[in-house]
Structure 1
Amino acid sequence: MDLRELVYVWHLAMHTKAWRHENELWAEIERRQLKLSDSVKTVADWGPLVAIQPFVHDVAWFQQARESYRAVPVLTRFDASYPPRLAESNQPPLVLFYRGRPSLLPRLTLAVVGARTATRYTRQALERLANELPPLAIVSGLAAGADTFALEMALSHGWPTIAVIANGMDRVYPASNLELQARIAEEGLLLSEYPAEVWPAPYRFVARNRIIAGLAHGVLVTEAARKSGSLITANYALQNNREVFALPNRMGEALGTGTNELLQVGAKLVQSGADIMEELQFFP
């Protein structure tokens, strides 16, 4: 076992724990200034490794973990293809499972998030923006509503399309997005920090949001209520010094309350694609 595989095994054992516990190993690797070529013995004296001993001593579990390591495409913090933006963000995942094209990750990227009950307003606004913007990489979750509209828009225009899901690659949620998930895995990039057989849960959607914000250069919120997961993504974006954009909405619209409040506290108002590119043009 080398250090990369140790990171993978640690992730499988610890992904259900708090992020702080999962990333203790990487923090220790950085503290010791270790490289992939260094022996795993260089951390053998690190006390917290006892946390995975029950897993490693479970012969069936450990064998399955090692087999999946060889068979399943993953990006780890050791890999040159792990996105630098994500690595520098708040709470980056130790391991990302993927299907599709990781070569899309360095592209200029706009995250699009919004309500699961997003209306035709979101779809129409995205189509208008698609006609006014250069071909940006679009990253979103794979939820119903705004996420789906954004990913479908990107695919229909031939733009790089990245979906971050809150479950294992062998699960689809919502079930209505079965074909969309398969198409993104084939034509774009599907990402998850969760191994196979993991179903979504409320806290996993929140955790997924930090990855979306970490991957993006800017985050566009289309429609959102006052208490919305989309606002969590916007908050992560602010923590990561990302640009935050919002579509204005009419007074009294429940799904406009969150976006209008974002505008009140300093998000960039979007009326055209130029409003987005005015901020993103400075990125390489």
Structure 2
Amino acid sequence: MSSISIITVNFFQPQATIELLNSLYQYYAIANIEIILVDNGSPIDNELYFKRDYQNIKYIRSEKNLGFAGGNNLGIAHATGEYLFLINNDTEVTPGLIETLADTLKKNERIGIISPQINYFDNKKIIQYAGFTPMDYYTCRNACIGQFETDSGQYHNKIEQTGFIHGAAMMIRREALEKAGPMAENFFLYYEEMDWCERIKDAGYEIWVDTNGLIYHKESLSVGKNSALKEFFMNRNRILFIRRNAKPLQRMVFYIYFMLLVVPRNMLKYLAAGTAGFTKVLWSAIFWNIRNKTNSRDLGFRLK
């Protein structure tokens, strides 16, 4: 098997990270697999804590919160593998997952990055991801294939191109990484993996899914399922993604669509849900894009 670097980022979730490391135990004795743990935004050095039971992991600490892209990029910078598997710490792997994805990459050099099927951890028979439809750049909308369906094997042995990988679990070949570059860190949270797919495609590679690999995802442990942080970055980065990747006409149509349809709809949704304060967050996301260039490192959100 080719050399593989498994990279995960911990952000104040030590128990979830330990549970992931437990699920990766089958790979600790394999010489050509390394496991890299980035302790992101940690005020203290937790190396002894994480290495108590897992002495062979590479522990990297960042005192500053680098976000999803920055934390993974830090791990990438220390990785030596031919293939790099970026995996959320709020996931647990199933047997054979790593080998399945690596084997598919090895058989098809056109594939730059690939994701497995993802099911929800809380109900392992419910699918979260079996691929993505292509992006509609006029609305910045696409669909997650299979989401919320009961897994009865309907996507079994699906090994094909897809619109985008899923950021919770993605394996990239090093050659594609070197040509496309790392993830854009100014996204911080959300849409960075979709933007990365655009860079990978521009570098001449394809985006694939292989449902013979399966992972379980606990989802949204780090920011919560309904938070101002998530609302800000989802809106800010949706606009940013279009600014970076859509053609001029597509951008113009999107701006009209977003301001005339998305903004009023979201404001009504906030009122109905009792989260009227999110209206200010939404407008902050919009004005960030007016004030900042597409490569701006200004986050626009004060992190605690």
TM-score under structure 2 normalisation? 0.28
Q: Which has the higher contact order (CA 8 A, sep 6+)?
A: 2
Higher helix share: 1
TM-score under structure 1 normalisation? 0.30
